């Protein structure tokens, strides 16, 4: 066979191989999505998870054949750091999560993935993954930060700036484990602000990816190139579930960061950032996307299908930007000192933790005012022709109960404050009026950055919408997404 004939023969075979792997990959993804509920670790269904929530799960795996649990270190406050390893392949993959204590989404996904591997269910994809790869999971690298739901560790440092100094025991553990494994691939799992969007679109960056640079020149060697290729594959997959909702994280070299150094040390480092998704405050949808896309990425590593991916596609993923608000109200009329002005309002829902950092309520806050035409909203309300109307206080009669039906009736009549007390835990509840104490004095109405947005909107003299604690309520439909009102004392 001359070389021309040979290549004519090889190319169809190669295409057949590629399309077969692609088919198997599609099948895997379909199975992962349709059977997710079987593997979801339901004991971890809120973002404020703690070290103690993980220990019963880790204990369970200590007794399971095929899984090795090793204590690899301790946090400053003495919480154990565990490495869970499984699989018998030659390619080592190291996945660590939550080096920032308030970034738990991937920790939950890691336990979903562990459930997938440890379940009785047998299938070809799982068999292949365990045969070709060896996985090492280090969930919740910063348990002290997780305890108080904060980014930094107990020493007050950012572990992700400690790769060179290694001042923290958590950073030293990460380095030691990386070095002992000399892993081929490393997944550095984080959360990012939900206010990131894919640049110049109103789509949140539900997931953002980065193959960190290992030098200021941002060179691409084989190690970094492989990370980029796997990211291209994950991006394509996530597009099916959250179209347009993927961003590419800034790749400026940060000499002190772990991702950048791990790339330099020879492990293909993949950073995954879990961002935001509409009406998903606990990020459970994003957790599922982590689970599916990480397993699909592992499959492509096991089959080496990622090797055929075009590196140039990495640059086509839109960059992350930070131009989102929870609510954007456009072109609303606001009356101040006798004159009427037209402006946009950007509102975010800030999370306020309870004392034990086990739950939170949200507090609406005006973030910006004026021309916000370069910004977007998870929810956008074009308010042309609408006027802001300050709300009144309602004084309930004896024994009158604050029901939702009553609230909608009152909102339409211009009341937004309910005078009295309610027995409610956690300072937040699902009654769509602000509750005010006996001492509360109605202030002169102002819109200003930093203030809580609570007012009504009227058009042609009819009150049709309310904004309570930053949540927009359509009074005609009575079906808006509303998380909580707040008490004003
Ligand atoms: Zn982070």
Q: Which residues surround ligand 1, an ion (CB under 5 A)?
A: 100, 103, 190
pLDDT at res. 422: 62
Q: What gap in Å lies between CA 92 and CA 74, rounded to an integer?
A: 23
Which domains are seen in the chain, by residue range? Answer: 3-321 (3.40.630.10), 324-488 (2.30.40.10)
Tokens of 419: 């005078």
CA of 418 to the centre of ligand 1 (A): 40
Helix 105-118 vs helix 284-303: angle between axes, to the nearest 10 degrees? Answer: 50
CA of 99 to the centre of ligand 1 (A): 7
Element (H, E) at 25: helix 3-34
pLDDT at res. 11: 52
pLDDT at res. 426: 43
First-to-last alpha carbon distance for the chain, in angstroms, is 88
pLDDT in tens, 361-374: 999 999 999 999 99
pLDDT at res. 3: 46
Tokens of 90: 């030659």
pLDDT at res. 32: 87
Indicate the pTM of the whole model.
Answer: 0.92
pLDDT at res. 19: 66
CA of 98 to the centre of ligand 1 (A): 7
Phi, psi of 225 (to 5 degrees): -60, -40
CA of 354 to the centre of ligand 1 (A): 22
CA of 423 to the centre of ligand 1 (A): 37
Phi, psi of 180 (to 5 degrees): -70, -30
Helix 284-303 vs helix 124-132: angle between axes, to the nearest 10 degrees? Answer: 70
Mean pLDDT, consecutive 10-residue stretches, the chain (489 aa), reads 48 56 81 91 97 98 95 98 97 98 98 95 91 98 98 98 97 98 98 97 97 97 98 95 96 96 97 96 96 95 96 96 98 96 97 94 96 98 98 90 88 94 58 87 92 96 96 86 79
Element (H, E) at 188: strand 185-191
Instruction: Supply the Cα-derived Rg of the chain in whole angstroms.
Output: 26
Q: Can you say whether the dihedral through the CA atoms of 9, 15, 17, 20 is positive or negative?
A: negative
CA of 137 to the centre of ligand 1 (A): 17
CA of 249 to the centre of ligand 1 (A): 12
CA of 371 to the centre of ligand 1 (A): 31
CB 207 within 8 A of CB 274: yes
Q: What gap in Å lies between CA 232 and CA 108, rounded to an integer?
A: 23
CA of 220 to the centre of ligand 1 (A): 23
- Report the residue count for the chain: 489
pLDDT at res. 399: 82
Q: Can you say whether the dihedral through the CA atoms of 105, 111, 117, 122 is positive or negative?
A: negative
pLDDT at res. 1: 43
CA of 202 to the centre of ligand 1 (A): 23
CA of 74 to the centre of ligand 1 (A): 20
pLDDT at res. 481: 81
Q: Is 116 exposed, middle or buried (0-12, 13-18, 19+ CB in 10 A)?
A: buried
3-state SS, residue 165: coil
Q: Is 15 exposed, middle or buried (0-12, 13-18, 19+ CB in 10 A)?
A: exposed
């Amino acid at each position: 066979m001359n070389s021309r004939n040979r290549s004519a023969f090889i190319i169809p075979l190669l295409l057949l191989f590629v399309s077969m792997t692609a088919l198997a990959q599609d099948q895997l993804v379909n199975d992962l999505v349709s059977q997710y509920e079987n593997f979801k670790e339901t004991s971890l269904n809120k973002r404020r998870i703690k070290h103690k929530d993980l220990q019963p799960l880790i204990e369970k795996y200590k007794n399971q054949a095929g899984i090795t649990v090793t204590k690899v270190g301790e946090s400053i406050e003495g919480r154990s750091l565990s490495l869970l390893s499984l699989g018998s392949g030659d390619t080592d993959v190291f996945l660590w999560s939550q080096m920032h204590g308030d970034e738990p989404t991937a920790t939950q996904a890691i336990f979903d993935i562990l459930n997938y591997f440890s379940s009785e269910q047998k299938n070809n994809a799982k068999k292949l993954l365990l045969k070709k790869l060896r996985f090492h999971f280090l969930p919740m690298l910063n348990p002290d930060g997780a305890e108080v739901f904060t980014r930094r560790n107990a020493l007050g440092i950012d572990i992700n700036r400690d790769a060179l100094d290694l001042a923290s025991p958590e950073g030293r553990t990460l380095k030691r484990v990386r070095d002992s494994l000399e892993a081929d691939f490393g997944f550095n799992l984080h959360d990012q602000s939900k206010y990131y969007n894919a640049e110049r679109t109103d789509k949140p960056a539900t997931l953002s990816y980065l193959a960190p640079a290992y030098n200021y020149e941002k060179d691409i060697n084989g190690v970094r190139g492989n990370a980029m290729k796997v990211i291209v594959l994950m991006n394509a997959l996530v597009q099916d579930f959250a179209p347009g909702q993927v961003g590419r994280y800034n790749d400026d070299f940060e000499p002190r960061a772990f991702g950048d150094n791990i790339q330099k040390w020879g492990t293909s480092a993949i950073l995954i950032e879990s961002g935001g998704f509409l009406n998903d405050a606990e990020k459970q949808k994003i957790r599922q996307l982590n689970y599916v896309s990480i397993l699909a990425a592992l499959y492509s590593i096991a089959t080496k299908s990622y090797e055929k991916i075009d590196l140039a596609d990495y640059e086509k993923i839109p960059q992350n930007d930070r131009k989102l608000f929870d609510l954007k109200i456009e072109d609303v009329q606001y009356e101040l000192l006798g004159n009427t002005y037209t402006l946009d309002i950007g509102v975010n829902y800030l999370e306020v933790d309870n004392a034990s950092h086990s739950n939170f309520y949200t507090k609406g806050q005006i973030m910006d005012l004026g021309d916000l035409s370069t910004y977007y909203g998870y929810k956008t309300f074009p308010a042309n022709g609408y006027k802001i109307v300050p709300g009144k206080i309602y004084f309930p009669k004896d024994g009158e109960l604050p029901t939702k039906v009553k609230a909608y009736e009152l909102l339409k009549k211009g009341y937004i404050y309910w005078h009295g007390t309610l027995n409610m835990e956690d300072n937040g509840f699902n009654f769509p009026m602000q509750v005010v104490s006996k001492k509360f004095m109605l202030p002169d109405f102002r819109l200003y950055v930093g203030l809580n947005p609570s007012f009504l909107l009227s058009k042609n003299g009819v009150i049709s919408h309310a904004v309570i604690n930053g949540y927009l309520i359509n009074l005609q439909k009575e079906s808006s997404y509303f998380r909580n009102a707040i008490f004003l004392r």
